[in-house]
Amino acid sequence: MAQKVPTLKIESPQPNAIVGTKQFTVTGLVTAPGMPEPVTIYSVSVQVDAQPAVKATLKHLPDPDLVEVTFSATVQITGGQDPHTVTVSVASDAGAPVSGTVTVTAGLRLVAPAVLIDVATDLVTPGVGTINLQSQLSMVARKIAALPQMADVQSGNKMVVGPMMLQMPAGLRRDVAGDVVAPPNVLLRLGLWILDLDFPAQELIQPTSDFPLPQLTPEAAAGCFGLAPC
């Protein structure tokens, strides 16, 4: 019976692929001996971590000497930390199920800011005054953390993240004669997020005594700000 055990090949996704948090497709091929006693493939299931398994769609390929079945299933990472394990299990009349795994990652989980404020100012030059601005953000974070509404946010399995700041050149300011006036205007883009409590910890900077709310890592913040309208 050992020689009749099906062989499983997972074709996609590839190991360590970044699949994101949207739906992705798992495909592959199951082969087994054919005539004179062909193995019957009952089903193929696909599971991400401990989520419920999804039954794959099967397609039997014509081959007089070999049982060949392709499979395809659409799954999704719904939470938890990277990496994630995709498990494929094959049920047949050859005995115990045959399974294989592939490890994937969701990558950065990008979410647009829930609150976005743009402030144009002449008081800050890009790259200058960051420490002072961070102090102002810290003061805002402390005031937000003290709001009674924070309890309602937490009861909904959410958390407030930020505020965070992105400095963006807003163009040069001109006087009434049309001449450029220094210093240039600077656009300060402030973002505040309301995220699920299971948001990936590796994308967060944990709260401190000076900044009582979590913040996004610089890489995550850049991607999340990129989702905001210009």
Within a 13 Å sphere around the CA of 152, how many CA atoms are in the beta-carbon half?
Answer: 4
Task: List the chain domain ranges.
Answer: 2-105, 115-225
With beta carbons less than 8 A apart as the criterion, state whether 163 and 192 touch: yes
Q: What's the pLDDT score for residue 172?
A: 54
How far apart CA 218 and CA 100 sit, in angstroms, is 36
How far apart CA 223 and CA 21 sit, in angstroms, is 14
Which segments of the chain are extended strands (E)?
A: 7-12, 17-18, 24-33, 41-48, 54-55, 57-61, 66-75, 84-92, 95-105, 115-121, 158-169, 173-174, 180-181, 186-196, 204-205, 215-216
Judged by DSSP in three states, 151 sits in helix
Joined together, the tokens standing for residue 86 give 């995709």
Helix ranges (H only) for the chain are 130-145, 149-155, 218-225
pLDDT confidence bin for 136, thresholds 50/70/90: confident
Q: What's the pLDDT score for residue 21?
A: 83
Q: What's the pLDDT score for residue 166?
A: 86
Q: What's the pLDDT score for residue 207?
A: 95
Class for the domain spanning 2-105: mainly beta
pLDDT for residue 17 is more than 80? yes
Residues 6+ apart with CB under 8 A from 165: 133, 134, 137, 188, 189, 190, 191
The residue-averaged pLDDT of 62-87 equals: 92
181 — alpha (psi -120 to 50), left (phi > 0) or beta?
beta
How far apart CA 146 and CA 193 sit, in angstroms, is 16
pLDDT confidence bin for 134, thresholds 50/70/90: confident
pTM: 0.58
Query: Which amino acid type is present at position 86?
Result: V
